[in-house]
Structure formats: structure tokens, C-alpha cells
Amino acid sequence: MTTACGIDFGTSNSSIGVCDAGRPRLLPIQRGETSVPTALFFSFEDNSTTFGHEALDRYFVREHGRYLRAIKSVLGTKLFEETTQTKLRRYAFGEIIAAFLRFLRIAAAQSLGEPPTSVVLGRPAFFVDDDPKADAAAERQLEAAARGAGFEQIAFQFEPIAAALDYEQSVNTEEIALVADIGGGTSDFSIVRVSPERARSSDRRRDILGFTGVHIGGTDFDRQLGLARVMPSLGLRSPLRRKGLEAPSWYFFDLATWHRINFLYDSKVLTEVRAVLRDAAEPEKIERLLRVLEHRKGHELLAGIEAAKIDLSRTDLALLKLDDGVADISLKITRAELEAAMSDSLQRIRSRINDLLRMAGLTSDSVSAVFLTGGATRMPSVRKSIAAAVPTARLIEGDALGSVATGLALDAARRFASTCRI
Ligand SMILES: Nc1ncnc2c1ncn2[C@@H]1O[C@H](COP(=O)(O)OP(=O)(O)OP(=O)(O)O)[C@@H](O)[C@H]1O
Ligand SMILES: [Mg+2]
């Protein structure tokens, strides 16, 4: 008998769920926690590879090495073909994702007594927007990584459908619900007919009235806030002495994008930035950029921006202070500034829900509940955009980080029931 699990491999955080006698539960992965950062650290000091919280700790104590975040964002893109240099060798992104999934599988074995061999992996409605070929490639890349991690039976379920399965556990009447899962990389939506009776049926295709998604998530909000409020202090739009020229903007775009930061630490890029510094009309800004790159502080800077964004979910004013002699930044950021920086994304989220209602042939008032999951649904502006599309529905807060893995565990139990111990 083998064991089946559901894995929510998230852009920012990952979780694993299993079912015991039909009841889903999340497994502790590290330090007793059921959700861990999707992060790896390749140490250049002891050549070890660490994952999750441990990877975060090693990076933040300034151990020398390579830190990786948002690796899911690379699936289906050209970057997937690139490799990452560690002290001993270069790793392909496929191997890096496989290593992270193996870490999750081994963590599951600690609770289950043996490593699971079957998995339902969550996937967003679209890994890549408007490119079905790239999207299919992304799923194949993730499947190959799961195989590399030791899984033998691999199935996929859409993340917003998994979240709906979790929500359905708590309903006691039949209703039409909009499930909104806005995470680190994607915004995923489903419209589902849920009821306690329907929850017992194994074929739910007719109850899924529609689902869709768009490549917008918390990591985009970090980038948008970073570009609007922080990167100008490091030279974004800063003039060069040659008339009419500015410092190249792609440095700042990469520095504000979780999965691109490491490319800036390349020696060729550092040489280029030093040349820009010699020509800079505001050298103190480019010097700051250079210090951040030389000290490999890009992730720390972006983590500071992310923390300010998270603070702004509960206050109107956040302080971003990095005064360690490298970035030397102290900025006050208001919620209104964050919302202005992300206004296009908010508009796209709202119009994607309107498209979904249209595709499902529903009016907004036929949706009676909105189930919110994913860390970014904690943002007042995101909630407002969702509520604007379905103004009469009541908002229900799900488990922001656990709903998808719980739903995937329910799905795994259903799919692998005949072959697995579940
Ligand atoms: N209170 C909060 N306010 C604003 N943003 C938050 C809050 N809590 C978490 N986030 C953001 O939520 C995102 C992570 O959410 P989550 O763990 O649901 O994503 P994920 O599942 O890893 O990503 P995806 O599903 O898109 O692959 C991060 O961008 C994080 O900054
Ligand atoms: Mg998610």
C-alpha cells in the first residue's frame, strides 16, 4: 500500500495535506509549521543545501551562498533553461524544483512513517498568461520535477478548485460561491456550486461553473511598490552625465522581482554598474545600488519592501528602514501610495472576475459567498476589488495559507483511493 498526499507548491509558501479516514489534515513540515517558505539556500561555506525556514535563516545571517525564492515563477518561461551557479556546480531550475519537492516529501515521511508515492499537485489556472504552449510546458516541467523527487503517481488539480473543496467542508446549504485565491504569483478564481450533498459526489465537473486566473500576485505588488517608492533611491530614472540618458531601468526591475535578483550578482553586471557609476549625475544613488549588489542584499531589500506591504494591510503608514551601512534607506510609505502603485493590477483582478461571471453565464447577484484564500487576500484593496465585482456576496475568510493543500488532500484521497493508504 502506498501513501497519497496533496502538495500546494506555492510561489511564496508551500504545504502538504493528507486525508485520514476521509478527514484532511496539513502535515508539519519544519519547526512544527504546516506552511514553509518556498526557499532554498546553497551555502558556499559548507556546501549544504537548506530549504524553507532554514534557508531564510541562513540568508538573513549573511552566510555566503545563493538564495532562491519564487522558483515557481520560472516554470514555463525562458528562464527555466538557465542554470544557477553554486559553489560546486551549476543547477538547472528543474533540479532545484525537484530538490524542493523532495524536501517536502521527506518532511511528510516524518509524520507518515514513509514517504508518499502519489501526489496531487496544485497548479494555477495559468502558469503563463495567454500562451497555452508555455502553460503546458510549465505543467510538464513540474511533473518531471515531482518524478525527480520520487513521486510515482502524479496528478494535477487547479488551485482554485482545491480551495473550493476546502470551502465546501464548511457549508450547510447549497449555494454558488466565488473562490478567490490570490497568492504570491497568481490570482485564481473559480465559481462553484457547493453543498454538503454534492461534497460527497466524486465527479464534480458539473458543479464547476467556471474557473480562470491571471498572473498577478503578492510578488507583483512587492515589485510595483519597490519600483514606485524604493528604487528611485537606488538610481531608477536617475540621469547620467551624458545628456538625455538614464541609468538602465532593467537593474531595478530585476532587483524588485524575487526570481530575478540573482542574475544581478553576475560579475559582468557588476562591472557594468561600476561603469554607469562613473557616468552618473547622482552618484550617491548608483553607489547605493552597487553596495546592495556587491553585498548580495537584494533579497533583504525586497523582503523589507514586502514587510512594508504586509504592514499596510493593517495600518496606513509603514516604515522601511535598512540602516546597516549597505542600502541605508529610511522611507515612510502610505497605504495610498501602495494602492496607487498596484492600481492596474487591482483593475485587472476585478475585470477577470467579471469575465469569469460572463463565461459562466451568471449575474453578480447569483454568487452568494466569496471564499478568500491566499496571503494577498489579506490586503484591503484586493478585497475591495473582489467585492466590487460581486457586491451582494458575503466575504468569508479561509485559511490563507492552508486551504489549497487541504483541498488537494481531499482530491488525492478521491483519486488514489484504490491504490493508496488514505
Ligand atoms: N497580511 C498580508 N497582507 C498583504 N500581503 C500578504 C499578507 N500576508 C501574506 N501576504 C502576501 O501573500 C503572498 C503569499 O501568499 P500565499 O502563500 O498564499 O502564496 P503562494 O501560495 O505561495 O503563491 P501562488 O499560489 O500564487 O503560487 C506573499 O506575496 C505575501 O507577501
Ligand atoms: Mg497559493
Q: Choose the residue to mutate in 8, 310, 314 for probing ligand 1, maximizing ligand atoms within 8 Å of C-beta.
A: 310
The mean pLDDT value for 163-181 works out to 95
Minimum CA distance residue for ligand 1 atom 5: 376
Q: How far is the CA of 251 from the centre of ligand 2 (A)?
A: 28
Q: What digits encode the pLDDT tens for the residues 59-79?
A: 999 999 999 999 999 999 999
Alpha helices (H) in 46-193, listed in sequence order = 52-60, 93-112, 132-148, 159-168
Whether residue 224 has its Cβ less than 6 Å from ligand 1: no
Q: What digits encode the pLDDT tens for the residues 339-365?
A: 999 999 999 999 999 999 999 999 999
Whether residue 69 has its Cβ less than 6 Å from ligand 1: no
Q: What's the mean pLDDT when you consider all of the chain?
A: 95
Q: Choose the residue to mutate in 7, 11, 316 for probing ligand 1, maximizing ligand atoms within 8 Å of C-beta.
A: 11
| Angle, alpha carbons 398-192-127 (nearest 5°) | 75
- The set of residues, in sequence order, having a beta carbon less than 8 Å from that of 84 and lying 6+ positions away, is 42, 66, 68, 90, 91, 93, 96, 262
- Report the alpha-carbon distance of residue 236 to residue 225 in Å, rounded: 13
So what's the pLDDT on residue 422? 47
Whether residue 116 has its Cβ less than 6 Å from ligand 1: no
Minimum CA distance residue for ligand 1 atom 19: 183
Q: How far is the CA of 136 from the centre of ligand 1 (A)?
A: 24
Q: How far is the CA of 12 from the centre of ligand 1 (A)?
A: 6
So what's the pLDDT on residue 125? 95
Minimum CA distance residue for ligand 1 atom 25: 183
Q: How far is the CA of 216 from the centre of ligand 2 (A)?
A: 12
Q: What digits encode the pLDDT tens for the residues 245-300?
A: 999 999 999 999 999 999 999 999 999 999 999 999 999 999 999 999 999 999 99
Domains of the chain listed by start with CATH number: 2-159+403-421 (3.30.420.40), 173-216+346-397 (3.30.420.40), 219-341 (no CATH)
Q: What digits encode the pLDDT tens for the residues 189-204?
A: 999 999 999 888 877 8
So what's the pLDDT on residue 86? 85
So what's the pLDDT on residue 419? 57
- 3-class secondary structure, 317: strand
So what's the pLDDT on residue 242? 87
